[in-house]
Amino acid sequence: DSGVTQTPKHLITATGQRVTLRCSPRSGDLSVYWYQQSLDQGLQFLIQYYNGEERAKGNILERFSAQQFPDLHSELNLSSLELGDSALYFCASSALPGINEQFFGPGTRLTVL
């Protein structure tokens, strides 16, 4: 158990819908990262937050957004969902942004029908 929690574990929705994925980092960690794992793309970095502020962006679609709240939990919002958004979404955390060792949650499996 990494100490990172993610909810929900599974999510099934329809195209065009909007969903919110939630992540709570390990106790004491200030930085949160979101990754997407799809069958053909592997693990891809989406976005990073540190202490409530966005610090880095990867190949995140404009339809996707995230935020980190004062209690340090983070949410990833996915809107206007398409079939291709079906994937595993992982959250990871680290103590500080410059610390390379990131600890991953169990993931949320999103299925868009």
Partner 1 sequence: DQQVKQNSPSLSVQEGRISILNCDYTNSMFDYFLWYKKYPAEGPTFLISISSIKDKNEDGRFTVFLNKSAKHLSLHIVPSQPGDSAVYFCAASGRGTSYGKLTFGQGTILTVHP
The residues of the shown chain that bind partner 1, judged by CB under 8 A, are 2, 4, 6, 31, 33, 35, 42-45, 48, 50, 55-58, 90, 92, 94, 97-107
C-alpha closest to that of 97 among 46, 57, 56: 56
Q: How far is CA 47 from CA 10, 12, 66, 91, in A?
A: 21, 23, 8, 10
C-beta of 14 vs 67, nearer to partner 1:
67
C-beta of 57 vs 63, nearer to partner 1:
57
Q: How far is the CB of 43 from partner 1 (least distance, A)?
A: 4
Q: How far is the CB of 29 from partner 1 (least distance, A)?
A: 12
What six digits make up the tokens of 11? 């999510």
Q: How far is the CB of 16 from partner 1 (least distance, A)?
A: 28
C-beta of 29 vs 85, nearer to partner 1:
29
- Beta-carbon neighbour count of residue 57 at 10 Å? 11
What six digits make up the tokens of 69? 């709240």
